[in-house]
Structure 1
Amino acid sequence: MSPELQGSGDGAGQPPPTWRRGSWKLGRGITGALVSVARAGAIPALAMALLFFGTAGAAGLATGFYSEPLSAAGVGFAVCLTSLLVHEAAHLIALRLVLRDAQAGEANQSLANVWVTGPRLQGLQTVATAAAGPVLGTASCAVFLLAGAPGWIVLPLAAVHAANLLPLFPDGRMLLLGIGQIFIGLTGRNGRDQTGSGAAPMADEAETAAGNLTAS
């Protein structure tokens, strides 16, 4: 479920562009972000449906009881798909808000996943955009739990979203990168305040190096 927020980088020696500005007529702003993510989720939704309901059908054939497996599959499918779309929409909306650019970023898809790519961010922009997905993805699972969905279905999916805040996952690595960018910016300013311009080149080089990193 993890997205990748990749830098475009326009300067020499930087990564080539991996995103495009939303050009579809509904691809702008918050509404456009929601529509973009929903469109990207069409193929993964089909794959999830085949997985959940195919497994439930096989269990029904094996046991002779269909209602409970199919009911559990329906809940699992709803929670998994909804939380995935919320997760990715949160990334894309946060990206457009922090950049104040209604067309920034795009939603991408594979057979079973949706992710967001966008321009390179800095500091708090990176932190806010990276954290938005896991936080709201987890929150969407909590809504299902409060609505009465079985905990044995919802809690593992919520844990997956929350775990994306860890550096083992792309979101967590982007979050760590953003924190590092903030730290570098603070130490660079402190160095310039204490020693004048002598500390600036080193801080600027470190900040540039951090900005060139991308989530894998």
Structure 2
Amino acid sequence: MRLVVAEDAAVLREGLVGLLTDRGLEVTAAVGDPEALHEAVERTRPDAVVADIRMPPTHRDEGLRAAAALRGRHPGLGILLFSQYIETSHAHSLLADGPAGIGYLLKDRVLDVDEFVEALHRVVAGGTALDPDVISRLLRADAGRAALTPREDEVLGHMAAGLTNAAIAARMGVSQRAVEKHTAALFDKLGIPRTTAVHRRVQAVLHYLAASPR
């Protein structure tokens, strides 16, 4: 896997490159600002970008906007953004065009290298990797969510994290058939039709993202 790392804090950037390299991943470039990120992606054509949301010059959402622009030019590019804080407005923006190939983790997740590398592989494969704490903030109680049972709500959280039914079953300690029943029930409660025109799992997650306070 070929990666470009974008993080303005030199110590964290170098540490992240070291961790990823030790796991056999190839870091084609490590940069500290959005302009250098654009140049590095165009020059090295990586499989994914790992970038801080807040970057120079204002340290607000430059990393997010750079990632969105890169996705527009390179639709297959995996994007894994991370932040020191849970920023729901940024998560909404990140997922607005669909969650495939997108990840959003908190910086302390980097300390769990196995989890971080797993998230990278999931994103490059076209999956989604959302931090559990981000999911909890996004999926706050609202009128629609109140209709879900605790088990259905838990299934939806794992679904938003990008887990398959089999992985959800293992995580919850239940059968895959039980997960399928919970999934079917939450689809019905959210009013998501059974049709080939929409991806029901994506619609379920985006429903809650759209309904969450920004």
Could you state the TM-score of these two structures normalised by the residue count of structure 2? 0.27
Greater Rg by CA: 1
Give the structure with the higher percent helix. Answer: 1
Give the structure with the higher percent strand. Answer: 2
